[in-house]
Amino acid sequence: MKIRVEELQNISGQEFDLCVIGGGATGSACALDAQLRGIRTVLLEAGDFAGATSSAATKIIHGGVRYLEEAIKGADLQEYHVLVRALHERVRMLENAPHLTRKMEFLVPSYHWIDVAYLDVGLKIYDWLAGPGRISPSKYLSQEETLKRMPDLNQKGLLGSVAYADGQFDDARYNITLVQTFTEAGGNTLNYARVTDFKREAGRKISGVVVKDQLTEETFTVSAKVVVNATGPVSDSIRQLATPTVHKRMRPSKGAHILLPLDVFRTEDALLIPKTEDGRVLFAVPWGGRLLVGTTDEEVTPETELVVAKGDVEYLLRHLNQYLARPVSPDDIVSGFAGARPLVGSEDGGDTKKLARDDVIEVDPASGLISIMGGKWTTHRAMAEDTIHRVQQALGFPHAVSQTRNYVLYGGKGFTDDYWNKLCRQHRLPEKTAHHLAAKFGTAAEKVLALASKNAALLDPILEARPAIKAEVVYAVGHEMATTIEDVLARRIGMQLYSWRDAIQAAPVVGSLMAEELSWTSSFTRTAIMHYVEKINHLLDSAGLSRERSPVSMSRESAAAQQ
Ligand SMILES: Cc1cc2nc3c(=O)[nH]c(=O)nc-3n(C[C@H](O)[C@H](O)[C@H](O)COP(=O)(O)OP(=O)(O)OC[C@H]3O[C@@H](n4cnc5c(N)ncnc54)[C@H](O)[C@@H]3O)c2cc1C
């Protein structure tokens, strides 16, 4: 990716074949698919790439066991279609970004024989539907085998478990990697660029967009023959901006997750809790050195603040603790996040947990706007492929086949599972740093480390005893368009997920490195750090946890004490 100011020049006032609004999973995948088919594309994102739903997923690459049950019980063809497509897309996601994904076994503990039989049959159907896309066959595990793999499971009445395979991924990094791959293919993109209006031809057809740069407040226009709306849960706002009379379609639903230290539930496998009190499933999954627990499902409006609330914490722990030998308490929580599912409403309304995770492509005849709504992360590539077919038709371009089915994403070429070992040897890195760089950047880790060859201090950790190094901050600014401290700590490096308190401690280090790269003044830097710390403290407050003191005010206090 180019530096933001440079890219702004390449986009402002320019003409493109296609403008994609929304730099989440769906929009980024659309932009990549289009650019690889030779369609000159610009991707505009109002906040940061992956700043909304696409970094708030449970991070599972799956067909969806719950949807299987609904497809069978309700004899629902639509659910069946979603499931089979997702099962096939799983494999593409795993193969196209091997550094950001991994296969994972999910154990469903059983305390009644009838559940064992039910699950065993259901998961055999799941395997069968996956066909050649099957990851590994599901199987029954005895009580002993189950406890060997999950020693902290509640043993009382445990009969055994049924194990099945799906995938796991790093959603924020996958999203940024899609954008990076798109720009490598010649596409143009800008974050913090909100579309506020449309340019129109003499009639009502759209011929481009009006954009407000969120950093400078300046407005500029971009011309485009076709515009795609990929704004996820807020798609209705763009649809109604194009044609105010269209009916709302989105039924956003909030899902919250918490992260716990992995030693509360030592395992390399994922736990699936098969039935919650509101008839859903819950996951507890090892992720990035933590146990990720989620999720909730609550219909919200676009105005709802998407933070983990005290009630979410109570709900998640109430269910999780039934499955643990030693219950955990809110004090164990290290971080959390929440997002809104972009569900598309059925005509008759109804409960959001019953809405299919299928996608809908809508071409507005009045304005020509193409909206891609709904879907899930696992199907982002297929959704983009279908959307760009419609774009090609609208452009009147000859049909070109999608290139993305087997297109290895940035950092994925040449990646092997022991790549970290090579980094360790060649750059004399601590093992945990090599693992971290390999998992976040794949073979592009070499580019991060190249920065340190000119300035060895960039090999230093951002926080003592943690794997992330300072070079990642410089790389994030120069090559991944990171603009705020949160862009770096939440989505580029992932430290905000590992620990809210670590993120607060790291903010001054990240802030001062960014200040050097972006020529921030000292007062701007101080404000940026305080603003970030306040934001994390607000997350702690919302979840009902105690606040962390700002490292900036702590260092001021200790300096005052020394005088
Ligand atoms: C709790 C939860 C758990 C989930 N777990 C999984 C899972 O494990 N596996 C899975 O496959 N799927 C999962 N999903 C679903 C998946 O995360 C979403 O389907 C996917 O991320 C949606 O991506 P999107 O690009 O459509 O939306 P978003 O990521 O929300 O992207 C839309 C973007 O549009 C931008 N935008 C909005 N308005 C404008 C504007 N005016 N101008 C410019 N840009 C604008 C926004 O800033 C945003 O970045 C989960 C979802 C949730 C909420």
pLDDT confidence tier of residue 127, bands split at 50, 70 and 90: confident
Q: Which residues contact 84 (CB under 8 A, 6 or more apart)?
A: 63, 129
Across the chain, what does the average pLDDT equal? 92
Q: What are the b/e assignments for 523-552, b being 16+ CB within 10 Å?
A: eebbebbbebbebbbebbebbebeebebbb
Q: Is 231 in the pocket of ligand 1 (CB under 6 A)?
A: yes
pLDDT, tens digit, 9 for 90 and up, residues 136-176: 889 999 999 999 999 999 999 999 999 999 999 999 999 99
Q: Which atom of ligand 1 is nearest to the CA of 255?
A: 1
Q: Taking the CB of residue 347, how many other CB atoms lie within 10 A of it?
A: 7
Q: Is 21 in the pocket of ligand 1 (CB under 6 A)?
A: yes
* Residue 289 in this model has a pLDDT that exceeds 80: yes
* Residue 251 in this model has a pLDDT that exceeds 70: yes
If DSSP states are collapsed to H, E and C, what string results for 148-200?
HHCCCECCCCCCEEEEEEEEEECHHHHHHHHHHHHHHCCCEEECCEEEEEEEE
Cα–Cα distance, 282 to 319 (Å, whole number): 8
Cα–Cα distance, 147 to 348 (Å, whole number): 45
Q: Is 375 in the pocket of ligand 1 (CB under 6 A)?
A: yes
Q: What is the mean pLDDT of residues 239-255?
A: 94
Alpha carbon of 487 to ligand 1 centroid (Å): 16
Alpha carbon of 342 to ligand 1 centroid (Å): 7
* Residue 368 in this model has a pLDDT that exceeds 60: yes
Cα–Cα distance, 391 to 405 (Å, whole number): 18
Alpha carbon of 229 to ligand 1 centroid (Å): 12
Probe target for ligand 1 pocket from 104, 178, 221, 341, with the most ligand atoms within 8 Å of CB? 341
Cα–Cα distance, 249 to 355 (Å, whole number): 12
Alpha carbon of 30 to ligand 1 centroid (Å): 13
* Residue 349 in this model has a pLDDT that exceeds 70: no
Q: What is the mean pLDDT of residues 528-534?
A: 96
Choice between 156 and 120, residue whose per-residue pLDDT is larger = 156
Q: What are the b/e assignments for 46-60, b being 16+ CB within 10 Å?
A: bbbbbbbbbbbbbbb
Alpha carbon of 160 to ligand 1 centroid (Å): 36
Q: Is 57 in the pocket of ligand 1 (CB under 6 A)?
A: yes
pLDDT of residue 77: 73
pLDDT confidence tier of residue 562, bands split at 50, 70 and 90: very low
Q: Is 167 in the pocket of ligand 1 (CB under 6 A)?
A: no
Q: What is the mean pLDDT of residues 301-310?
A: 91
* Residue 560 in this model has a pLDDT that exceeds 60: no
Task: Fill in the amino acid letter for 1.
Answer: M
Probe target for ligand 1 pocket from 11, 43, 54, with the most ligand atoms within 8 Å of CB? 54
Q: What are phi and psi of 514, to 5 degrees?
A: -65, -40
Q: Is 63 in the pocket of ligand 1 (CB under 6 A)?
A: no
pLDDT, tens digit, 9 for 90 and up, residues 264-284: 999 999 999 998 988 889 999
pLDDT of residue 352: 54
Q: What is the mean pLDDT of residues 445-474?
A: 96
Alpha carbon of 235 to ligand 1 centroid (Å): 10
Q: What are phi and psi of 86, to 5 degrees?
A: -65, -40
pLDDT, tens digit, 9 for 90 and up, residues 193-215: 999 999 998 777 999 999 999 99
Q: What are the b/e assignments for 127-166, b being 16+ CB within 10 Å?
A: bebbeebbbeebbbbebeebbebbebbbeeebebbbbbbb
Probe target for ligand 1 pocket from 32, 44, 53, 94, with the most ligand atoms within 8 Å of CB? 53
Choice between 128 and 173, residue whose per-residue pLDDT is larger = 173
212, 25 Cβ separation under 8 angstroms: no
Q: What is the mean pLDDT of residues 122-147?
A: 88
Alpha carbon of 297 to ligand 1 centroid (Å): 15
pLDDT of residue 553: 57
pLDDT confidence tier of residue 37, bands split at 50, 70 and 90: very high
Q: Which of 110-114, 406-410, 483-487 has the lowest mean pLDDT?
A: 110-114
pLDDT confidence tier of residue 134, bands split at 50, 70 and 90: confident
Q: What is the mean pLDDT of residues 402-406?
A: 97
Alpha carbon of 20 to ligand 1 centroid (Å): 14
Alpha carbon of 374 to ligand 1 centroid (Å): 9
pLDDT of residue 357: 61
* Residue 8 in this model has a pLDDT that exceeds 70: yes
pLDDT of residue 563: 47
Residue with CA at minimum distance from ligand 1 atom 6: 57
Q: What is the mean pLDDT of residues 434-440?
A: 97
* Residue 557 in this model has a pLDDT that exceeds 70: no
Q: Is 55 in the pocket of ligand 1 (CB under 6 A)?
A: no
pLDDT of residue 550: 59
